[in-house]
C-alpha cells in the first residue's frame, strides 16, 4: 500500500529501563500483522533487540524502527533504549517523531529516566501519551500510578483505556473512546466484546473526562460543551485530534504488553487521533545564520536530515534519515548542504526491525534508509539544490564518563583507531580523541556500560586485546604575583654567531583570560622584525611550566627592553632568549597549579539525597543548590575533574543504578598542598616513563 504525508504517524516508545518497551513494540508488530508470533526479550528473537550485544545483555542498546498499517495509516514505531547510557538513540527518535509514548510501570509508577525524558519532551513541546504497563501483576494500581504521574509531571493524565481488574484478576481493558472492551486471550490477540456491566460506571466517568479533553482542543467545541454539557462522537474525535497535536492533554492507556492486552485500542488511537507529520516542525539555519522553523510539507522541494548512521554486516553502511519536505527518490542525485557537494542516492529502504524492505521513494514525514553512501553522516542535510537550508544538528547530551584506551600490541593501534572512528559515527554521544598533552587516546560516553559495550564489540570483531585506565587530568600552571627577568642568548661559532637579549615582566591575568603579549620596547632596543620571534619564544615557554611541565595560562607578558647585534642577531636568537627569560620570570612569580573544575547536575531519588551530597563533599565538591519535585532531587554542584573520573560508577553504586548526571567544564581553580604535591610527583613519574620509552 502507498502512503503519503497525511497517512503517516511517527511515534517514539520511550521510558525507564525494564518498563516493557521492547515487549510492547513486539506486540504492536504482532497486532499489526507484521510478525506471525510475538517473541520475548529473554528469547533473543525480538524484532527490536537484534544485535548480538542486545541479545546477550537482554537490553535495548540501539533504537529499532518498524511500521504497522492500521486503519489505512502507516505508523512508524521507534523502540528506544531505557538506559541513560544510550540516550543518543532516544534523542534521534524524538527528533524524527511527531509524538512519544512513555511507558510507566503499573506497579512502581514514574521512575527517574522517564522524568528526564519528560523534561526533554517538554523542551520540544512534543505531544506525548503514557502507557501504564504490567496490570497482570498483583502490585499494579491504576489510580495510584495516575496520581503519581499527576504529581511528578504536574499534568492530569486522561484515561483512554482503563484496566479490568489486576493481577490474577486482570481480564483486559476498556476502550473508553470507542465504548468497547478487549479481553485477554490465552494465546493470540485481544478479543473485542461489549463493556461488562460492572465497569459501566467507571467507563462512563472516564468518558466524561475524555470529552472535557476534546473540548480543550477547539474554542467552538468548548463553547458547545459549556452550553450542552457534551459533544457528539464526531466532535469528540475532532477535538481530541487538535488537543493532542497541540499537547493540550496527556492520553493515558492501560494494559499488560506481555499478554497482548491494551494493544488494539492503543493502535487505533494512534492511527485515528495521533498527530501526523504536518503538525510538526523542524529547525534549520539559513545561509545568513538565521534559525527558522520548517513545516513538514510534501509540496516543497526535497529536504531531509540524516538522524543516524549504522553498519550492517550484510547491507554495509546505512544512513537513516527523516524526510522533511518534498520527496526522496531512489537512484537519483541530491545535494549535501552540510558538505557542500552532490550526493548520489542509491537504494532506499524502510525498516521492519532488522529486516530492510526496498522502496522507490520516501515522502515528507517518512523515515527511511539510504544504503551504502560513502559520505553521508549523521546530522547532514540533503536538499534538492545547493541553496537549501541546513537543519540544526541533534541536541545530544555531553559525555560524562571517559577512559583512556590503547591496544596491547602496537601493531593493532591503527585498527583500534579505525574502529573507534566507526563507533563515533554510529553513536554521536560517543567521543574519541587523542590527547597530545597527556599522549593518551581518550574515549568518552554517557556511562561505563556504553563504553564497555563498544570496546567489547571491537575486541570481538577485530580480534585485538585492549587496555584501559583512568585518563590523566589536563592540569595547568599559572602565576600569583608580578616578576621580571632577563636572559641573553649568546653563542659564538665559526662565522656568524647567535645573540639576543630580552628583558620582560610578567603579571597574573584574571582566570580564563589565558594570555596577553605586550610590546613595550622603545628606541629600537629590539628591532620590530625580531618581535615575532620573541613572542614565539614566550609561547614555547608557556607550553611547559616550571612546576610540572603543564601549560601555563592567565599570564600577561610585557617585553620592556633588550639588545641586539647587527650581525649575530636573528629571530631564532630572540626566540631562545625569550623562552628562557619567561621560565626564569615564572620561577620568581610564585607559580601555582590549576585544576579543571566541572559543573555537575545530579538527578537522584530523594531517598539517596543525603548519601549523594555526602559523597560530593568527600570529592571536594561545592553544592550550589538543589530542587526536588515528585520524589526526584536535582543537585547542582561544582567539583574537580580529578574527583569525577569514576563518578558514573560511584553514583550508580550509591543509587542502586537509578541516579544520573550531566557534567561540563566550567573553569580552572588553584590546587595546593598534598594534592598538588601528588600531581607534581605523578607528572615527574610520567616524564621518566616517557623518557624510557
Q: Which residues pair with 99 in a beta bridge?
A: 11
Instruction: For the domain covering 595-675, report its CATH number.
Output: 3.30.70.240
Model confidence pLDDT, tens digit, residues 530-573: 999 999 999 999 999 999 989 999 999 999 999 999 989 999 99
Q: Which of 195-199, 648-652, 683-687 is least confident?
A: 683-687
- Residue 315 has a pLDDT of 80
With residue 636 as reference, give the H or E element that holds it. strand 632-640
Strand bridging mode 355-359 / 348-352: antiparallel
Model confidence pLDDT, tens digit, residues 302-313: 999 999 999 887
Model confidence pLDDT, tens digit, residues 154-174: 999 999 999 999 998 999 999
Q: How confident is the model at residue 662 (pLDDT cuts 50, 70, 90)?
A: confident
CA distance to 177, 211, 670, per residue, from 236 (Å): 9, 6, 64
Q: How confident is the model at residue 458 (pLDDT cuts 50, 70, 90)?
A: very high
- Residue 631 has a pLDDT of 74
Model confidence pLDDT, tens digit, residues 201-221: 999 999 999 999 999 888 888
Burial class of residue 524 (count of CB atoms within 10 Å of its CB; 0-12, 13-18, 19+): exposed
Backbone angles phi, psi at 547, to 5 degrees: -85, -55
Spatial contact of 283 and 357, defined as CB atoms under 8 Å apart: no
The yes-or-no verdict on residue 518 having pLDDT over 80 is yes
Burial class of residue 673 (count of CB atoms within 10 Å of its CB; 0-12, 13-18, 19+): exposed
The yes-or-no verdict on residue 676 having pLDDT over 70 is yes
Q: How confident is the model at residue 687 (pLDDT cuts 50, 70, 90)?
A: low
> What is the pLDDT averaged over residues 129-135?
97
CA dist., res. 662 & res. 395, Å (int):
14
Q: Which residues contact 2 (CB under 8 A, 6 or more apart)?
A: none
> What is the pLDDT averaged over residues 285-306?
91
Q: Which of 305-309, 343-347, 678-682 is least confident?
A: 678-682
CA dist., res. 85 & res. 87, Å (int):
6
> What is the pLDDT averaged over residues 259-269?
96
The yes-or-no verdict on residue 496 having pLDDT over 80 is no
- Residue 438 has a pLDDT of 81
Model confidence pLDDT, tens digit, residues 40-59: 999 999 999 988 899 999 99
CATH of 401-469, one of 3.40.50.300, 3.20.20.450, 3.30.70.870, 3.40.50.150: 3.30.70.870
Q: Which residues contact 73 (CB under 8 A, 6 or more apart)?
A: 3, 7, 8, 9, 270, 271, 272
CATH topology of domain 281-391: Elongation Factor Tu (Ef-tu); domain 3 (2.40.30)
Closest C-alpha to 590, from 555, 562, 559, 558: 555
> What is the pLDDT averaged over residues 194-204?
95
- Residue 286 has a pLDDT of 83
Domains 5-196+250-279 and 595-675 share a fold: no
Q: How confident is the model at residue 135 (pLDDT cuts 50, 70, 90)?
A: very high
C-alpha dihedral, 155 to 161 to 163 to 164, nearest 10°: 140
Model confidence pLDDT, tens digit, residues 9-24: 999 999 999 999 999 9
The yes-or-no verdict on residue 688 having pLDDT over 80 is no
Model confidence pLDDT, tens digit, residues 561-602: 999 999 899 999 999 999 999 999 999 999 999 999 999 999
The yes-or-no verdict on residue 470 having pLDDT over 70 is yes
Spatial contact of 221 and 214, defined as CB atoms under 8 Å apart: yes
* 183 Rama sector, left if φ>0, alpha if ψ -120 to 50, beta otherwise: beta
The per-residue pLDDT of the chain, averaged, comes to 92
Domain boundaries, the chain: 5-196+250-279, 281-391, 401-469, 477-589, 595-675
Asked whether the CA dihedral 219, 221, 222, 226 is positive or negative, the reply is positive
The yes-or-no verdict on residue 82 having pLDDT over 60 is yes
- Residue 690 has a pLDDT of 58
Closest C-alpha to 104, from 224, 250, 243: 250
- Residue 1 has a pLDDT of 57
Q: Which residues contact 619 (CB under 8 A, 6 or more apart)?
A: 639, 640, 643, 644, 647
CATH of 477-589, one of 3.40.50.10490, 2.60.40.2240, 3.30.230.10, 3.90.105.10: 3.30.230.10
CATH topology of domain 5-196+250-279: Rossmann fold (3.40.50)
> Residue for cell digits 573553569?
667
| Three-state SS sequence of 346-406 | CCEEEEECCEEEEECEEECCCEEEEECCCCCCCCCEEECCCCCCEECCCCCCCCCEEEEEE
Amino acid at each position: 500500500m502507498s502512503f503519503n504525508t497525511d497517512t503517516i504517524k511517527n511515534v517514539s516508545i520511550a521510558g525507564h529501563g525494564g518498563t516493557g518497551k521492547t515487549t510492547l513494540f513486539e506486540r504492536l508488530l504482532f497486532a499489526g500483522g507484521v510478525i506471525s508470533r510475538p517473541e520475548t526479550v529473554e528469547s533473543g528473537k525480538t524484532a527490536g533487540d537484534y544485535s548480538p550485544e542486545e541479545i546477550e545483555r537482554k537490553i535495548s542498546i540501539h533504537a529499532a524502527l518498524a511500521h504497522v498499517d492500521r486503519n489505512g495509516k502507516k505508523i512508524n514505531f521507534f523502540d528506544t533504549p531505557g538506559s541513560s547510557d544510550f540516550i543518543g538513540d532516544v534523542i534521534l527518535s524524538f527528533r524524527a517523531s511527531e509524538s512519544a509514548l512513555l511507558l510507566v510501570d503499573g506497579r512502581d509508577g514514574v521512575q527517574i529516566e522517564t522524568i528526564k525524558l519528560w523534561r526533554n519532551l517538554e523542551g520540544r513541546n512534543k505531544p506525548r501519551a503514557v502507557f501504564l504497563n504490567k496490570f497482570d501483576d498483583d502490585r499494579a494500581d491504576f489510580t495510584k500510578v495516575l496520581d503519581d504521574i499527576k504529581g511528578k509531571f504536574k499534568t492530569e493524565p486522561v484515561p483512554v483505556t482503563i484496566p479490568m481488574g489486576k493481577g490474577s484478576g486482570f481480564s483486559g481493558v476498556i476502550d473508553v473512546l470507542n465504548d468497547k472492551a478487549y479481553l485477554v486471550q490465552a494465546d493470540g490477540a485481544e478479543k473485542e466484546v461489549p463493556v461488562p456491566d460492572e465497569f459501566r460506571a467507571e467507563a462512563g466517568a472516564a468518558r466524561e473526562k475524555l470529552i472535557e479533553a476534546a473540548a480543550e482542543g477547539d474554542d467552538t467545541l468548548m463553547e458547545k460543551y459549556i452550553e450542552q454539557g457534551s459533544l457528539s462522537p464526531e466532535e469528540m474525535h475532532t477535538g481530541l485530534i487538535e488537543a493532542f497535536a497541540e499537547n493540550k492533554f496527556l492520553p493515558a492507556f492501560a494494559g499488560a504488553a506481555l499478554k497482548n492486552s491494551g494493544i488494539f485500542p492503543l493502535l487505533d488511537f494512534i492511527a485515528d487521533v495521533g498527530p501526523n507529520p504536518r503538525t510538526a516542525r523542524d529547525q534549520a539555519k539559513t545561509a545568513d545564520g538565521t534559525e527558522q522553523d520548517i513545516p513538514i510539507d510534501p509540496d516543497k522541494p526535497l529536504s531531509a536530515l540524516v538522524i543516524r548512521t549504522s553498519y550492517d554486516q550484510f547491507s554495509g553502511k546505512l544512513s537513516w534519515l527523516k524526510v522533511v519536505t518534498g520527496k526522496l527518490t531512489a537512484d537519483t542525485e541530491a545535494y549535501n548542504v552540510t558538505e557542500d557537494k552532490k550526493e548520489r542516492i542509491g537504494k532506499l529502504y524502510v525498516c521492519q526491525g532488522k529486516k530492510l524492505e526496498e522502496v522507490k521513494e520516501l515522502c515528507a514525514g517518512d523515515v527511511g534508509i539510504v544504503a551504502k553512501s560513502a559520505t553521508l553522516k549523521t546530522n547532514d542535510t540533503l536538499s534538492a539544490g545547493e541553496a537549501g537550508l541546513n537543519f540544526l544538528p541533534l541536541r545530544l547530551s555531553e559525555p560524562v564518563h571517559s577512559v583512556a584506551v590503547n591496544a596491547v600490541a602496537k601493531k593493532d593501534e591503527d585498527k583500534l583507531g579505525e574502529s573507534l572512528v566507526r563507533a563515533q559515527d554510529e553513536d554521536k554521544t560517543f567521543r574519541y580523541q587523542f590527547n597530545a598533552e597527556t599522549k593518551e587516546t581518550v574515549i568518552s560516553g554517557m556511562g561505563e556500560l556504553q563504553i564497555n559495550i563498544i570496546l567489547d564489540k571491537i575486541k570481538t570483531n577485530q580480534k585485538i586485546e585492549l587496555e584501559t585506565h583512568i585518563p590523566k587530568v589536563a592540569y595547568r600552571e599559572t602565576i600569583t604575583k608580578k616578576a621580571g627577568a632577563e636572559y641573553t642568548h649568546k653563542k659564538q661559532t665559526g662565522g656568524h654567531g647567535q645573540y639576543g637579549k630580552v628583558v620582560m615582566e610578567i603579571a597574573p591575568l584574571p582566570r580564563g583570560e589565558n594570555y596577553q603579549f605586550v610590546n613595550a620596547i622603545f628606541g629600537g632596543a629590539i628591532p620590530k622584525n625580531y618581535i615575532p620571534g620573541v613572542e614565539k619564544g614566550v609561547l614555547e615557554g608557556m607550553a611547559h611550566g616550571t612546576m610540572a611541565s603543564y601549560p601555563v595560562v592567565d599570564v600577561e607578558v610585557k617585553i620592556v627592553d633588550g639588545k641586539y647585534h647587527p650581525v649575530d642577531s636573528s629571530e631564532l636568537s630572540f626566540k631562545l632568549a625569550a623562552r628562557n627569560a619567561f621560565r626564569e620570570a615564572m620561577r620568581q612569580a610564585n607559580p601555582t597549579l590549576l585544576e579543571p573544575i566541572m559543573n555537575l547536575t545530579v538527578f537522584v531519588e530523594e531517598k539517596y539525597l543525603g548519601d549523594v551530597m555526602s559523597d560530593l563533599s568527600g570529592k571536594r565538591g561545592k553544592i550550589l543548590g538543589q530542587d526536588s519535585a515528585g520524589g526526584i532531587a536535582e543537585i547542582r554542584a561544582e567539583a574537580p575533574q580529578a574527583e569525577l573520573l569514576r563518578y558514573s560508577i560511584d553514583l550508580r553504586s550509591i543509587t542502586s543504578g537509578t541516579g544520573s548526571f550531566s557534567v561540563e567544564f566550567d573553569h580552572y581553580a588553584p590546587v595546593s598542598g598534598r594534592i598538588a604535591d601528588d600531581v607534581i610527583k605523578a607528572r615527574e613519574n610520567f616524564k621518566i616513563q616517557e623518557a624510557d620509552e
